[in-house]
Structure 1
Amino acid sequence: MNINRAARPLDRTVRCGVAVVGGGIAGVMAAAAAAKCGARTLLAESSTFLGGVVTMGPLEALMTPEDSNGTVIAGMAKEFLDFLRTLDSGARAVEDTTGYCASIVPYDAETMKFALLKFLQHYDVTVLTEATLEEVERSGASISALRLRTKTGAVRVECGAVVDATGGGYASYLAGNDVAVGNESGRSQPVTVLCRIAGVDIDLLKEYVAAHSEEFKTFQKELNLQAEHLHLWGFTGALKAGHDSGALNLKRHEIHMMQTTRPGEVIANYSRINADPLDPFALSDAQCQGMEQVRELHGWFRRTIPAFADSYIVQTGYVGVRESGRVVGRYTLTRDDIVAARSGPTDVAMGAFPIDIHQSGDGMKFERIVSGYHIPQECLMARSAENLFLAGRCISATFEANASCRISMTCMSTGHAAGVMAAAYAAGTFTTAAVRGILKEQGAIL
């Protein structure tokens, strides 16, 4: 069959109440929340699958729904996790054996891919994958439409409100809003390629950790090796020996490793590349570097740690960016806000993860958080566009604050809030009281 472009143009226009750009975990929560509020919702994602680093990382675990006193993140996040457990029974909050945070949620990345799609299908969200945002149209102080590029042409999305869940604030940048990048020197955290390893003998791994306990960090009295899922922070001796022997070109003092919900499977967080997250050539090179670092680590562990003797790499992820663009909003969350567990009358979300800053080279700076902190709606509202709302790691925050609120469970919380805010704006019912009321009705903790 021949297609006559003049008679059948591939470019098209669609209309919706809320358009969500970015299908990571924050974008999915935003889209589901907006649709739950009754808004006709479209989610656009540039990749083939939803979930971002949660599925394509693959991330070690979802962290953290709790602080030292109990649950702080519920609402759409809880609703989704309840659904995920029907497909992956082990995906529930368990003890963090390092004691770094109150709890973590292990999961299977492949099941997560499917669960995210089914969750949005339940709420009748239109999902458009392999669609890249290339233009934002404005009418006065508001966004009127988005232009997406697909493999078969452009899609123009006319909408009443937009949620920027792009991770780096790309939609906000195209809309003319200021975006901050990096620390006071303009430097962002290093990027990482994560690795999923199967065929690991967990009993032998526990024996190794017990025999080298001084090489593993814990913030508790001792590392609980009887826990259902191990979260390890260490391997100091193995890493030093590997680097000293020349088997490992990357020098690391310690790494993170987490069991998934599949028997004998772990996620290793080892690679580290100092790449500009806004430079596509640097990120492309980082992908290759990260995969090489991962393969070196796995080869070394197979040769020297019995637990890994019969293991194999199941998946190396895409380049995980910890921090790139942070949209300048109507309020900027700070380190002091987080440490002081701030709260206020416009709060719409919460977080409880430590301030976690990976340094160039081998270092890592962190500050543990005991009590959950509250995030005001102004952090999720772009400064220069009335109908543009923010979700995930691109919310308005300082470099240090972003090192906490960028984490997955907090992204789910801000995604939920941004989706409700966008739906209320599109419906012409946006007030702080109305938004907070809806969030509470949907089970959110504010």
Structure 2
Amino acid sequence: MNRTSINEPAREVPVLMEADVVVVGGGTTGPIAAIAAARRGSKVVLIERFGSLGGILTLGLNTKPSGAIVGGIALEIWNLARSVGGAGADYMATTKTGGVKIASPTDPEIMKMLLTRLCVEAGVEILFETFVSAPVVENGAVTGVIIEGKGGRQFVGTKVLIDCSADADMAAKANAPFVMGSGDAEAKMQPVSMYFIMKNVDLNRLAEWARTCDDVPARAIPHDEEGLAYGLWLTGFNGMLQRFQKETGVKLQRDNITLKTADGQMYVNATRVLGVNVFSPKEFTAAILECYRQIEGVARFLKERVPGFEQARLGQVSPILGVRETRHILGEYTLTGPDSRGETRFEDTIAADNSALDIHDPKGGDVDFQSMPPYEIPYRCLLPQGVEQLLVAGRCISADHEAHARSRNMPACMATGQAAGVAAAIAVEQGVPVRKVPIGKVQAALRELGMPLHAEEVRA
């Protein structure tokens, strides 16, 4: 039987609950949005398909924002993590193009607990292990979402929906316009990858070797042993990787490797799969299998070629694939490359971001990682065209492919999540559409949270 489709019978869907604000996605962005809205008194429901919060930061073992965290709820959380030994001090990394200020990595397990605790303390209702299959749109405005779980299909009503799915899933299913990747005929997107941990690494030996190794041009190497737990960051190994592949026949897919520590463990960013359609179950699965193959090869390279890894072994592999780029919504404004270089001042700015430029070449070249001046993100980038009562936050905001190289990073994602949460709550308070929310009131609330709004307000 060669069926191309089936008919699904209509059915009534029971209502589980009603909320003021529903946040879809409990990754890096969603918890910040939920906390921001709930702290203003909104009834908030946060829906997450996994059993913990943090997404790529925690489950994905990424651990570290690519850049500085300059204020707001995100800085509050990082300082809280530091107070319980779950993060270190920020550090300045030396790269081929200059220094890059980087927020300290965090312990992913501690961060899971802290994000959950702050959500609960703010009054957020969390629905774990729950998949949101579709938004419900009536008369052009979102009125709720259909969720799926072991209890079947249910409905959660809302006055405002915040899409923190990373892939703009809710916006796309609400028929909001979007582009894929670069938005041109090729639809180029940054590649996917998967983090893993190596255990039993001699950090002192590795650090001493790396200080004088020309093949590790980008680095942050603490001078004290205590600092190694959260402050060792190394990127490079290009020549060593080329020789290893030539001599062993092992085929890897990246020109370089990034190593970083968190709580004394070594986190490795070294895999890459190009041209993956993450909306295809077959291609998504194939990418995971390819990452597994590459992880085995990289682990062998580290053990055989890099001092300090002689007794190391594979400790943990991320259970999720790291996806850098898919949909970009078409919002009321699209952040451009020049905007992301700090060339534009916006009257409706909701955050000044100081993330690094972090481009993984869609064609497979080397990683471009460098510091750039702070820039501003306008509220209009969070407002998808054609759908009311919907905000989008995280890496799928309205930004072009070039600007995305900064706005996709965690500090920017958390900042847009915070702004979306505040704006949603104010819209509910005042009984106005999110598209008409008074931006001055949103900005005043963000300033109260300690968030700089203009580029010149970011501390050096």
- TM-score, normalised via structure 1 length: 0.90
Deviations 1:53-75 (A, max 9, x none): 10111105123226xxxxxx211
Secondary structure of the corresponding residue to residue 145 of structure 2: strand
Deviations 1:383-428 (A, max 9, x none): 1122111111011100111111110111111110011111112222
The 3 A distance-change label for structure 1 pair 360 and 336 is closer
Counterpart in 2 of 1:419? 421
The unaligned stretches of length 5 or more in structure 2 are 1-11, 454-460
| Displacement of 1:206 | 1.6
Counterpart in 2 of 1:112? 111
Q: Which amino acid aligns with 2:87?
A: G
Secondary structure of the corresponding residue to residue 392 of structure 1: coil
The 3 A distance-change label for structure 1 pair 82 and 206 is closer
Counterpart in 1 of 2:76? 79
Counterpart in 2 of 1:49? 52
Q: Which amino acid aligns with 1:103?
A: I
Matches within 5 A, 1:384-403: 384-403=386-405
| Displacement of 1:247 | 5.2
> Quick check: 2:217–2:236 contact (8 Å CA) kept in 1?
yes
Matches within 5 A, 1:221-300: 224=221, 226=223, 228=227, 229-246=231-248, 248-260=250-262, 262-263=263-264, 265-274=265-274, 275-300=276-301
Whether 1:437 aligns to 2:444 is: yes
Counterpart in 2 of 1:350? 352
Deviations 1:274-299 (A, max 9, x none): 12222221111111110221121112
Counterpart in 2 of 1:127? 126
* Mapped partners of 1:118, 1:367: distance in 2: 33
Q: Which amino acid aligns with 1:186?
A: A
Secondary structure of the corresponding residue to residue 310 of structure 1: coil
* Mapped partners of 2:428, 2:350: distance in 1: 18
Counterpart in 2 of 1:363? 365
> Quick check: 1:163–1:391 contact (8 Å CA) kept in 2?
yes
* Mapped partners of 1:234, 1:215: distance in 2: 6
| Displacement of 1:350 | 2.2
Pick 1 or 2: higher relative contact order, CA cutoff 8 A, min separation 6: 1
The unaligned stretches of length 5 or more in structure 1 are 1-8, 67-72
Counterpart in 2 of 1:70? none
Q: Considering only aligned residues, what root-mean-square deviation do their CA atoms show, in Å?
A: 2.0
| Displacement of 1:432 | 0.8
Counterpart in 2 of 1:4? none
Q: Which amino acid aligns with 1:278?
A: F
* Mapped partners of 1:231, 1:301: distance in 2: 15
> Quick check: 1:12–1:154 contact (8 Å CA) kept in 2?
no
> Quick check: 2:42–2:425 contact (8 Å CA) kept in 1?
yes
Deviations 1:233-252 (A, max 9, x none): 11123312221123531143
| Displacement of 1:10 | 9.7
Q: Which amino acid aligns with 2:238?
A: T
> Quick check: 1:63–1:103 contact (8 Å CA) kept in 2?
yes
| Displacement of 1:128 | 0.6
2:41 to 28, 31, 38: 38
Deviates more, 1:231-240 or 1:160-169: 231-240
> Quick check: 1:97–1:224 contact (8 Å CA) kept in 2?
no
| Displacement of 1:362 | 4.2
Deviations 1:142-171 (A, max 9, x none): 101111111221221110101110001000
* Mapped partners of 2:94, 2:395: distance in 1: 26
| Displacement of 1:322 | 0.3
Whether 1:195 aligns to 2:196 is: yes
> Quick check: 1:31–1:120 contact (8 Å CA) kept in 2?
yes
The 3 A distance-change label for structure 1 pair 40 and 251 is closer
Counterpart in 1 of 2:310? 309
Q: Which amino acid aligns with 1:340?
A: G
* Mapped partners of 1:258, 1:161: distance in 2: 39
* Mapped partners of 2:222, 2:79: distance in 1: 27
Deviations 1:81-116 (A, max 9, x none): 222223335344223344552222211111111111
The 3 A distance-change label for structure 1 pair 338 and 43 is same
* Mapped partners of 1:404, 1:47: distance in 2: 26
Deviations 1:198-234 (A, max 9, x none): 211011102321342x11123xxx8655273121111
Identity %: 27
The 3 A distance-change label for structure 1 pair 336 and 372 is same
Counterpart in 2 of 1:23? 26
